[in-house]
A = this chain, B = another copy of it.
Amino acid sequence: MRAVSIVGIGQVPVEKSSERSLAELGASVVRSAMEDAGVDRLDALFAGNMLSDELQGQKHIAALIADEAGLYGVEALQVRAAMASGAAALRLAYLAVASGEATLAVAVGAEKMSEGVAEPALSKALDVQREVRDGATMISRNADLMRMYFDRYKVPEDAFVNFPVIAHGNAVTNPYALFQKAVTPRKVRRSRLVHPPLRLMDCSPICDGAAAVILAPSEEARAFSDHPVRMLGSSVVTDRFRVEDRKDPLWSDASHVSALKAFRQANVNRMDVDFFEVHDAFSIMACLQLEAAGFAEPGEGWRLADEKRIRLRGDIPITTMGGLKARGHPIGATGIYQTCEIVLQLTERAGKNQVRNARIGMMQSVGGAATTILTHIFGV
């Protein structure tokens, strides 16, 4: 198995509603990433998208993006793991290059949530027969977890307030972020109760976006980029599908095991991680991930936000470019946006969002209610 590096990135600004079609969005970032890597051909394209079946009426999106980007002839496949579909595309592009089947592969994520009503489609990440039919949605599941956390750990009512405050603070200087403005703790505390105890400011927004990264064998990476980033670890772990089938709903075993696997592959430990792009679709998810991945004890994850240790200058910065909360969470694109951001951080191109001495970056992506977890570790 050969080592793999990222040699090109492409992003479009996340928007509430893009005028471009899903295929155009995907193709535009593929072309940007190809330009960044200085290549005019690719061997393979792996597309991450979750919602196009229903929102666009389109079920063959990888080949459509390839055609739109002028890449027909290429291997093009779509890969899915619900909300972790972007990271799943990265995983498969990694396998294609690591195996030797592809020299240049692009992982592209694209999602256009502005057409139609996304929430019912998102809920199909749960078990339709045993959860959706009982009225569960992604929002209600996360509200349940938040309430359970409050009840068990007796934390203050505003324990999670600093997760969105810090994410929004970082998004201010990310030109690709949907919300480039700060929010105050007071604004978070007073935001609408969407699904108690979940407030609007605990939830990531519905939006459109696309991002792409190009992978090449590490030994050839310098031919394409002056600042390649190595993929040191890549793992996918599933948990029991339904939250209620797990021993402890507040403990994500998949997140824990996936992180350990990726640490082992990368030959690093938690202390080596300079920043951690979490899947903060909801503040409670960011908190539980920090605990499961080993950055806080169970029941203590919220303190990292409260003590502001997750800020850019903290000991474990998260959501360094705004996170899902403020950069935006265009589902199938999210994992690839995070990858682009990690590349910018590790190559000291993150501008005002730069994490100092960033050498190792970690990303975790979550499909469903912590059912599928992908961990990726990158380094320079």
Binding site for B on A (CB under 8 A): 1, 21, 44, 50, 53-54, 56-60, 62-64, 66-68, 71-82, 88, 91-92, 95-96, 98-101, 121, 124-129, 132, 234-242, 245, 254, 257, 367-368, 371-372
Contact = CB atoms under 8 A, between A and B. Distances in A.
Given A59-B82, A235-B75, A241 B1 contact: no
A124 B60 contact: yes
Given A72-B238, A79-B78, A238-B72, A367 B60 contact: yes
Contacts of A124: 53, 57-60
Contacts of A63: 81-82, 238, 241, 367-368, 371-372
A53 B56 contact: no
A364 B153 CA distance: 56
A73 B257 CA distance: 8
A49 to B, nearest CB: 9
Residue in A63, A79, A129 whose Cβ sees the most chain B Cβ within 10 Å: A63
B57 A238 contact: no
Nearest to A71: B238
Contacts of A58: 124, 127-128
A40 to B, nearest CB: 17
B368 A60 contact: yes
A238 B88 CA distance: 21
A100 B1 contact: yes
A123 to B, nearest CB: 9
Contacts of A74: 237-238
Given A1-B101, A66-B238, 14 more contacts: A1-B100, A50-B59, A53-B59, A53-B121, A57-B128, A60-B368, A62-B81, A63-B82, A63-B371, A68-B241, A72-B240, A73-B238, A75-B235, A77-B236
B121 A59 contact: yes
A75 B237 contact: yes
Q: Which 5 A-B pairs have the closest CB atoms?
A: A99-B99, A67-B241, A59-B124, A75-B236, A1-B100
Contacts of A257: 73
Contacts of A81: 60, 62-63, 76-78
A110 to B, nearest CB: 14
Contact of A132 (B57, B67, B239, B241): B57
17 contacts: A1-B99, A58-B127, A59-B82, A60-B125, A60-B368, A64-B127, A66-B241, A67-B371, A75-B236, A77-B80, A77-B91, A77-B236, A78-B80, A95-B96, A95-B101, A98-B100, A101-B234
Nearest to A97: B99
A301 B371 CA distance: 48
Contact of A237 (B68, B73, B82, B235): B73
B80 A59 contact: yes
A299 to B, nearest CB: 25
Nearest to A236: B75
Nearest to A65: B241
A285 to B, nearest CB: 16
A98 B92 CA distance: 13
Contacts of A67: 238, 240-242, 245, 371
A95 B99 contact: yes
A359 to B, nearest CB: 24
A314 to B, nearest CB: 32
A246 to B, nearest CB: 9
Given A96-B95, A371-B60, A372-B63, A129 B21 contact: yes
